[in-house]
Structure 1
Amino acid sequence: MITSRQTRIRYLIVLMLFLASSFSYGDRVVLSIVGVALSKDLHLNALKLGYLLSAFSWAYVVMQLPAGSLLDRYGSKRVYGYSIVGWSICALAAGFVGYLPVAIAFGALFFLRLFSGAVQSPIFPGNGRIVAAWFPAAERGRASAIFNSSQYFALVFFGPLMGWLVTKRNWEACFWLGGVMSLLLSALWFRAVYSVKEHPRISQAEIEHIEVGGGLASMDSGTAKRASTLTWSGVKLLLSHRMLVGIYIGQYCITALTWFFLTWFPIYLSQARHMSMQKVGFLAALPAMCGVVGGILGGVVSDILLRKTKSATIARKTPIVAGMLCSLTMIGCNYTDSSTVVVALMALAFFGKGFGALGWTVISDVSPKNMIGLNGGLFNLIGNTAGITTPIIIGYIREKTGSFEMALVYVGFMALTAIISYLLIVGEIRRVEFTPEQLQGRAG
């Protein structure tokens, strides 16, 4: 029932996106926190650990296009909610892998991480889709920045908690705790999240505010099953657009930074800087907190620039370029022996990564109105290919060189490439509108 009083339900919705995304990233980061202890128990070298760290992304990437299509067809609430339940079950099961014979434990854990990646594939396309529906264009930067900052908050919250737990108990307990917490979250999700016009506590004034500002408030309204948007001709149509291709490349590079921080960064502090895992959990949280601040601040700055300049190009590109320049400073860690300086440089790099992580805001701005789920899925597919390549490449570098120096150079190069892509390929940022002839070709 729509109420007549003024409401701000969209802020509750973005809070739910932040919580769900934080738990999703928490599930991804647990393996890196317990990686040292787990490697000893399962007898894994650096390269084999790299493959295990990448397992999540193999299925996550493959499932992006189907996930986007499922979101467009069945709506965000249902698909997203079932995703939370699915990864919770995977986490609980992963805690029992330690009781299996070593010969099959690696394969079992690899499979569970694959399956967890598959069921989590709708999360970020769903985030972009929900923000496009619930927020006017002038508020999308902040909204997207809030849920995107979850990747850093996951380290802030789960890093110390899991670092303490793996030290005091064992690595299996970390998976069990994450699974139970995520199951509780799924119950809250189904109770709190609705489409815009079906929310029982929203006011007509808020609906009008969303729609007048460019929000797609009618998305997911009604219970009828919609047609699937997943066709290869549709994918080809999206890939034929130069601006979108530039955004996809930029997202791959930015996501490479994300996966360094989510996978090898705690291990880097432990192995290269000789810190205990309990200390790693707390020290990793400090740069991650800077990422949270940078992420939210980047969205705020972007929205301010949009209001002042009326240009999405200036408003979105400026924080992205500035943030990636800050991230380049992590290479400076190769030239110091001071743990304090390392943490400070990583804090600046984390801040820059957060400040420039506006890819989902850009996707909400530019996606064709009837292909938001599919375009979000394709965007996330290409971006999270870095989740496969980055852990393996860094594991290979670590195994061959015995150090992390070239690994940091590689991650810094990804930040530089993101800058080049946004400045030289993307061009003007605007919503894509395909002609009827192009769409007819997609349908055919």
Structure 2
Amino acid sequence: MNQKATKVRYGVVIVLFITVIINYMDRSNISIAAPLLTKDLGLDPVKMGLIFSAFGWTYCALQIPGGWLLDKLGNRKTHALGITGFSLATLLQGFVSGFTGLFLLRVGLGAFEAPAFPTNSKVAAAWFPENERARAVSLYTSGQFVGLAFLTPTLIALQQWLGWRGLFILTGIIGIAWAMLWYILYRDPQHSKRANKEELDYIREGGAIFDSAAAEKVAKPKTGLKDFAVVLKSRKLWGIYIGQFSVASTLWFFLTWFPTYLVEYRGLGFIKTGFLASLPFLAAFVGVISAGFLSDYLAKKGVSADIARKVPVITGLLLATSIIGANYVESTNLVVLFMSIAFFGNGFASITWVFVSLLAPKRLIGIAGGVFNFIGGTASIIIPIVIGVLAKGGDFAPALTFIACVTLAGALSYIFLVGKLERVPDVK
């Protein structure tokens, strides 16, 4: 009698979801602490701008090395090391006495977070068959929007209770505790004692990517310049790289400039801004969840991968261009409506990580994921600076037009560069 397959993979995606929330908690707590921190440490806006940017520089610069490290250490060790590192950097921010210490710790935060999303992607590729992978990616990716929409009030309350130093210390301790739990609880499928043979057979036959026990006894091939050439020369992979930059561009607009836009360019008060600013994040949360379930539903119904996987991303990026509509309305409600539609579209397009495991050579998923996240991560540096330049004359319309053009370019890259979904040939 055949035993019923276990559902261990569903627990894995919940673990990834929590990990993403912790990622974004440690990225965003600086924005909560900034008003009090700047006064206590005597930091002017120029220095705070440098501190805000410090995360992005190292986060981007170490994406490719982070992917290489992932391929060397594996999922369990890479996440344990990364979460411990960026959580310790967070905790130590509670003890800084000036600009230099805070700047260096933000640099460290970006460095240790660099392998986070490539690791998430590789875990999903190992545990989920292809017809469930988009749903898994959408579920754990939604953690960033949950964190941004719902966690901010919690962090504000913690700061009122513990002060800004206590905020950093507590969030750092939470992250370190989570790193320990990850290392204790997580195993790749081939090492899992909870997943039975039926589940392992199901996910393997469905296209999950994990080594067999026999394969692990064979020495792993070394990665070199030829491997980087494979992931850097592929037209298909460049299509998803450009698309990821487009998705990240809209996200970083909302992470950095959106509240300022509402207050300074639309004349809203801070209390009302706090409420209205949460609505697009809620819309993005709905978008990313619905895209993942829709994509997997279509895949299970036998719809081609080109439609089931690409259509949500292309549709989402096209919807994100609606941000330009805010340039042509005066009503606050209509402004927020256009912003919410745009961010819903951004969320709907956020299943892009599924394409790394679908297109990259199986041996090079970590490196390809590093390049993918590196190019997406450059948006955290480029977009805030470009928007600041475009809006410096007091008119925000060119900045919103710029974001709309970037998202349109992302949609076009999926249409014309990615083309048919086929795995890029490996060169060994």
TM-score by length of 2: 0.91
- State the distance in 2 between where 1:194 and 1:340 align: 47
- State the distance in 1 between where 2:148 and 2:138 align: 16
Residue type at the aligned position of 1:26: M
- State the distance in 2 between where 1:419 and 1:426 align: 10
Residue type at the aligned position of 1:133: A
Match of 2:412 in 1: 420
Match of 2:295 in 1: 302
Q: Is residue 2:126 matched to residue 1:133?
A: yes
Shift of 1:266: 3.5
Q: C-alpha deviations, 1:393-416, integer Å up to 9, x for none?
A: 233334x32454333222222211
Residue type at the aligned position of 2:287: G
- State the distance in 2 between where 1:330 and 1:221 align: 52
Residue type at the aligned position of 2:292: G
Residue type at the aligned position of 2:338: L
Shift of 1:249: 1.1
Match of 1:442 in 2: none
Q: C-alpha deviations, 1:210-244, integer Å up to 9, x for none?
A: 01101113279998796575423211121111111
Change in 2 beyond 3 A, CA 1:174/1:74: same
Match of 1:147 in 2: 140
* Count of aligned residue pairs for this structure pair: 426
Root-mean-square deviation over aligned CA pairs: 2.6
Change in 2 beyond 3 A, CA 1:418/1:36: farther
Match of 1:87 in 2: 86
Determine which structure has greater relative contact order: mean sequence separation of CA pairs < 8 Å that are 6+ residues apart, divided by chain length: 1
Which secondary structure state, in structure 1, belongs to the residue aligned with residue 70 of structure 2? helix
Conserved in 1, the CA contact under 8 Å of 2:79 and 2:179?
Answer: no
Conserved in 2, the CA contact under 8 Å of 1:62 and 1:381?
Answer: yes
* Residue in structure 2 matching 1:115, options 104, 108, 111: 108
Change in 2 beyond 3 A, CA 1:269/1:189: farther
Shift of 1:179: 1.3
Shift of 1:370: 0.8
Conserved in 2, the CA contact under 8 Å of 1:163 and 1:280?
Answer: no
Gaps of 5+ in 2: none
Match of 2:357 in 1: 364
Change in 2 beyond 3 A, CA 1:222/1:265: farther
* Residue in structure 2 matching 1:429, options 421, 425, 428: 421
Shift of 1:341: 3.0
Match of 1:161 in 2: 154
Change in 2 beyond 3 A, CA 1:401/1:227: farther
Shift of 1:283: 3.6
- State the distance in 2 between where 1:134 and 1:240 align: 28
Residue type at the aligned position of 1:89: L
* Residue in structure 1 matching 2:401, options 382, 390, 409: 409
Residue type at the aligned position of 1:44: D
Residue type at the aligned position of 2:232: L
- State the distance in 1 between where 2:214 and 2:176 align: 27
- State the distance in 1 between where 2:285 and 2:357 align: 21
Shift of 1:29: 2.0
Shift of 1:356: 0.8
Q: Is residue 2:15 matched to residue 1:22?
A: no
Gaps of 5+ in 1: 440-444
Q: Is residue 2:207 matched to residue 1:214?
A: yes
Conserved in 2, the CA contact under 8 Å of 1:133 and 1:217?
Answer: yes
Q: C-alpha deviations, 1:314-352, integer Å up to 9, x for none?
A: 122211111112212222333444433333322222211
Change in 2 beyond 3 A, CA 1:10/1:37: same
- State the distance in 1 between where 2:182 and 2:381 align: 29
For residues 371-386 of structure 1, the aligned pairs below 5 Å read 371-386=364-379
- State the distance in 2 between where 1:226 and 1:389 align: 41
Q: Which moved more, 1:344-353 or 1:282-291?
A: 282-291
Conserved in 2, the CA contact under 8 Å of 1:163 and 1:282?
Answer: no
Change in 2 beyond 3 A, CA 1:140/1:87: same
- State the distance in 2 between where 1:260 and 1:219 align: 43
TM-score by length of 1: 0.88
Shift of 1:53: 2.3
Change in 2 beyond 3 A, CA 1:240/1:295: same
- State the distance in 2 between where 1:316 and 1:12 align: 23
- State the distance in 1 between where 2:266 and 2:280 align: 15
Residue type at the aligned position of 2:412: I
Residue type at the aligned position of 2:94: G
- State the distance in 1 between where 2:32 and 2:51 align: 13
Shift of 1:40: 5.4
Conserved in 1, the CA contact under 8 Å of 2:43 and 2:99?
Answer: no
Q: Which moved more, 1:156-165 or 1:116-125?
A: 156-165
- State the distance in 1 between where 2:212 and 2:26 align: 29
